[in-house]
Amino acid sequence: MANTYIHGHDSSVLASHRWRGVDNSANYLISVLHDGDRLLDVGCGPGTITRDFVRFVPGGYVVALDRTPTIIEEAVGGDTHVFGVEGDVYNLPFQDRSFDIVHAHQVLQHLGDPQRAIREMARVAKRFVAFADADYDRMLWWPSSPSLERWMQLYQAIAAHNHVNPNIGRELSSLALYCGLSNHQVHTTTWTYATTELVHWWADSWAGRVLHSTYASEALRLGLSSQEELTTLAQGWQEWATKPGAIFVITSIAILASL
Is residue 45 a part of any domain in this protein? yes
In a domain, 95, yes or no: yes
Asked whether 215 and 155 are in contact (CB, 8 A), the reply is yes
- How many domains is the chain partitioned into structurally? 1
- Expressed as residue numbers, the domain containing 88 is 11-258
Task: Indicate whether 229 belongs to any domain.
Answer: yes
Residue 159 lies in a domain: yes
**Facing residues of 141 across strands?**
248
Q: How confident is the model at residue 2 (pLDDT cuts 50, 70, 90)?
A: very low
Residue 12 banded pLDDT, cuts 50, 70, 90: very low
7 pLDDT more than 60: no
For residue 27, give the CATH number of its domain: 3.40.50.150
Phi-psi region of 132 (alpha: psi -120 to 50; beta: other; left: phi over 0): beta
Question: What average pLDDT does the chain have?
Answer: 94
- Within a domain: 18: yes
| Domain contains 202 | yes
Distance, in Å, from the CA atom of 105 to the CA atom of 41, rounded to the nearest integer, reads: 8
Average pLDDT over residues 191-201: 96
Q: Does residue 16 or residue 19 have the better pLDDT?
A: 19
Question: Residue 30 has what DSSP assignment?
Answer: G
Q: Is residue 76 part of a domain?
A: yes
Q: Model-level pTM greater than 0.85?
A: yes
pLDDT, position 8: 47
pLDDT at 4: 61
**3 part of a folded domain:** no
pLDDT, residue 19, reads 73
